[in-house]
């Protein structure tokens, strides 16, 4: 039976370069996703959108109001039924939908990432493809 040896010297550097390229591409895509998703984020004053940060591949919408707005359901003080909770009280979810002001962002809605994804996924794939290719 014939014997042969395959030398794989240098393959680690290729693997490292691919990993580095993918990490940078993830960040590039996250920046694009944040930009494209902005019109869908509820914005009475624009504060939530301004405070949104990209950290590597993550898009971070800060504060408890982000979860509240993203889910799109009214949350109330369990004792009073008011949307203003007493200090130290944990709000409970109702089945009432939030109504978003659309003066600043005409497409403002709950589950804004899903809405943006439905419109922009093809673009994000192209951005990712270009980012990986440009970094290799």
Q: Using CA atoms, how far apart are residues 110 and 93, in angstroms rounded to an integer?
A: 15
Of 42, 21, 59, 41, give the one whose Cα is nearest residue 116.
41
- Reported confidence tier of residue 17, pLDDT bands at 50, 70, 90: confident
pLDDT reported for residue 135: 73
For residue 8, pLDDT beyond 80 = no
Question: What is the token pair recorded at 88?
Answer: 């130290």
Regarding pTM above 0.85, the answer is no
pLDDT tens by residue, 33-82: 999 999 999 999 999 999 999 999 999 999 888 988 999 999 999 999 99
81: left (phi over 0), alpha (psi -120 to 50) or beta: left
């Amino acid at each position: 039976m014939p014997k042969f040896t395959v030398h794989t010297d240098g393959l680690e550097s290729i693997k490292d370069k691919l990993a580095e390229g993918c990490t940078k591409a993830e960040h590039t895509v996250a920046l694009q996703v944040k930009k494209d998703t902005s019109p869908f984020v509820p914005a009475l004053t624009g504060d939530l959108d301004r405070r949104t940060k990209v950290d590597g591949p993550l898009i971070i919408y800060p504060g408890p109001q982000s979860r509240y707005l993203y889910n799109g359901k009214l949350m109330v003080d369990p004792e009073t039924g008011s949307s203003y909770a007493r200090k130290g009280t944990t709000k409970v979810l109702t089945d009432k939908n939030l109504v978003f002001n659309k003066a600043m962002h005409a497409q403002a809605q709950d589950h804004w990432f899903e809405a943006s994804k439905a419109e922009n996924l093809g673009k994000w794939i192209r951005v990712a493809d270009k980012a990986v290719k440009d970094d290799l």
